[in-house]
Structure 1
Amino acid sequence: MKHLHAHLWPGVPLALVSAVLFGASAPFAKLLLGAMPPQLLAGLLYLGAGLGLAAVHGGRAALRIPAPEAPLRRHDLPWLAAVVLFGGLVGPLLLMLGLSRTSAASGSLLLNLEGLATMLIAWVVLRENVDRRLLLGAFAILVGAAVLSWHGGGVRLDAGAALIAAACLAWGIDNNLTRKLSSADPVVTATIKGLAAGSVNVALALLLGAAVPPAATIGAAAVVGFLGVGVSLVLFMLALRHLGAARTGAYFSLAPFIGAVIAVALLREPVTMQLVVAGLLMGLGLWLHLAERHEHEHVHEVMEHEHVHVHDEHHRHHHDGPVTEPHSHRHRHEPLRHTHPHYPDLHHQHGHT
């Protein structure tokens, strides 16, 4: 039994907890939109994430808690800049603008499009393996989103839904770019992303005339941002290491269900037939993603890279002297051929015929 499900750990739990935190943030952000304009809220959410993670990183260093993660290198900086742009500036701003024009429950469910955008980019652009089960699950999620947007004579995307869809596309690009950084310390990466994106959005909002909200409101936005953006992003990056972009995005599709349920309970939004049918279809899509099992004989070519690891079947190099695991250093993988369940993680990026 352990062998059958070993490939699910720890990537799937990391992705699902990340999804729960992010999904819960949408209805709480909807509540805060009444107290400030969308751009200011987007900035405060990311600033809260950056400051909170900076405190975690600083506390970790002060308490001398080991953090055997690979550092960011100079060649990572272009990827980091693009991640800040798409994921920290464009995506959250579009989401806040969209949420201000649609219900929190519908907005939360439409966030499923992020997983589809992530999967499509990973499959078509980055050539990541995507099988029939994942495609069927993606189709079920897409039909659910279409049901949610049905108005009378057909599918109609209002301004709010269109803005949320655009935010999902920006985050789909962001998620695939973030994979390039997933081997580095996720706390440091997410801290930089939060501080940079948050500062820019807050500064722009204030320059455009936004009033500074009360301290309690700022604090609430910071807490929502720390958990729903910061901690969620760290877990998402860790999941990318084990699952690849397409599958992490697929599991992340749980986020909208959490948001929709909280929106109904917290904001007393109506439970419509559209919401129920869309939820069932999206739930079917998520189940298809969770039930996937990918196993075949594959070859590992020679590879050199740096990331945190233990000495398992994929890491058989030697050290001069005793070492503490897990640890991080640049290491070399020799050619290896074997069979086991796997995902397109850091070590399984081979092609398929």
Structure 2
Amino acid sequence: MRIGIVFALVSAGLFGASTPFAKHLLGTIDPWMMAGLLYLGAGSGLAVIHLSRAALSLPAPEAPLRRTDVPWLALVILAGGVLGPLLLMFGLSRTDAASASLLLNLEGVATMAIAWVAFRENVDRRLLLGALAILLGAAVLSWQGQATFDLGAVLIAGACLCWGIDNNLTRKLSSADPVQIAMLKGLIAGTINLLIALGHGAAFPSAEDVAAAAVVGFFGYGVSLALFVLALRHLGTARTGAYFSLAPFVGAVLAIALLGEAITPQLVIAGLLMALGLWLHLSEQHEHEHPHEALEHEHRHQHDEHHQHTHDAAAPAGEPHSHWHRHTPMVHRHPHYPDIHHRHGHSV
């Protein structure tokens, strides 16, 4: 459980830090072009890591993507790799980076709502109150008076909805190699966005701007996504989305520190509401007696209490390792989240 929280928080920090840097680069790069460069930077950097592992014949403890994963991966790329960053870049071009960073908390709310409603993940009063506080903070931040909302805020909210869908679909892939998932998403989504940008006449930026966007994309989208997939594996979708709500605070602080943006009362109130929501999620405790049904799957694992199985001669040596294995039914009690082994129902 603890390592999953670390993965989620580091992922959030990297993504949050990318927002003010992307905002700065939008002064010279077309929004559509920026979306392409960020994801190509992510995919290219992770491709170097992936190919280096193969060239050095390093052990492969992670399960590879299979043919049955392709439809899910395609939907993930469309929602999170094409539509999400595109809406964010256009939204960023219409609002300040600090406000945009805090508005990105809506991604966590969208992720949690879809996980609870569509995928029936467990939810309690504390989690609901936390989600409500985050949503209120985002509403305060985007409110412009006279019953209107800023267009930039609406576009960023649309990006968050796309990423909420993306995060829930990515859970279907979370047993597989996170580097491979993030690499393919970056390369395919980046290429699509870049071709669209060039097709509508966007100018190709200077080599310095391309390099800067690639570095921001590698850390803020590539490494961040790989860690997010690992967090999904350990925490489930809704809780990973909650921890990921740290991202906007990192972005807002950097925007104020690096870009000299003002600290407004609206920003402070929204930040306090969002901080309350994040604390409610971080302080959750979940433990009860629960059953494990028979299950067969493949993923990186060690021989803990959930992995007491035998190996044939073809099984990889050493731990952690990955191979197809079977879980026998059992009932026990311990603290847990809805990870890949704890997706059971709950009584009212």
Deviation, 1:62, is: 1.9
Given that residues 144 and 150 in structure 2 are in contact (C-alpha distance below 8 angstroms), is that contact kept between their aligned partners in structure 1?
A: no
Deviation, 1:311, is: 0.4
Check if 1:185 corresponds to 2:177: yes
1:204-243, Cα deviation, whole Å (9 max, x unpaired): 1011111111101000000000000000000000000000
Structure-1 separation of matches of 2:312 and 2:63: 20
Deviation, 1:153, is: 4.6
Residue number among 338, 345, 348 corresponding to 2:339 in the alignment: 345
Match of 2:321 in 1: 327
Structure-2 separation of matches of 1:194 and 1:65: 23
Match of 1:139 in 2: 132
Residue number among 264, 269, 272 corresponding to 1:277 in the alignment: 269
Residue number among 213, 224, 231 corresponding to 1:232 in the alignment: 224
- TM-score between both structures, scaled by the size of structure 2: 0.97
- In the alignment, structure 2 segments of 5+ residues that lack a partner are none
- TM-score between both structures, scaled by the size of structure 1: 0.96
Check if 1:88 corresponds to 2:95: no
Q: What is the SS of the residue equivalent to 1:285?
A: helix
Check if 1:74 corresponds to 2:81: no
Deviation, 1:64, is: 2.5
Deviation, 1:131, is: 1.3
Check if 1:263 corresponds to 2:238: no
Alignment of 1:194-233 (within 5 A): 194-233=186-225
Deviation, 1:320, is: 3.8
Structure-2 separation of matches of 1:67 and 1:225: 25
Q: What is the SS of the residue equivalent to 1:151?
A: coil
Check if 1:244 corresponds to 2:247: no
Q: What is the SS of the residue equivalent to 2:57?
A: coil
- In the alignment, structure 1 segments of 5+ residues that lack a partner are 1-6
Residue number among 3, 7, 31 corresponding to 1:14 in the alignment: 7
The CA RMSD over aligned residues, in Å, is: 1.0
Alignment of 1:99-138 (within 5 A): 99-138=92-131
Count residues in correspondence: 345
1:228-287, Cα deviation, whole Å (9 max, x unpaired): 000000000000000000000000000000000000111100000111111111011101
Match of 1:294 in 2: 286
Q: What is the SS of the residue equivalent to 1:304?
A: strand
Structure-2 separation of matches of 1:118 and 1:336: 30
Give the counterpart letter for 1:283 in structure 2: A
Q: What is the SS of the residue equivalent to 2:245?
A: helix
Match of 2:37 in 1: 44
Give the counterpart letter for 2:54 in structure 1: A
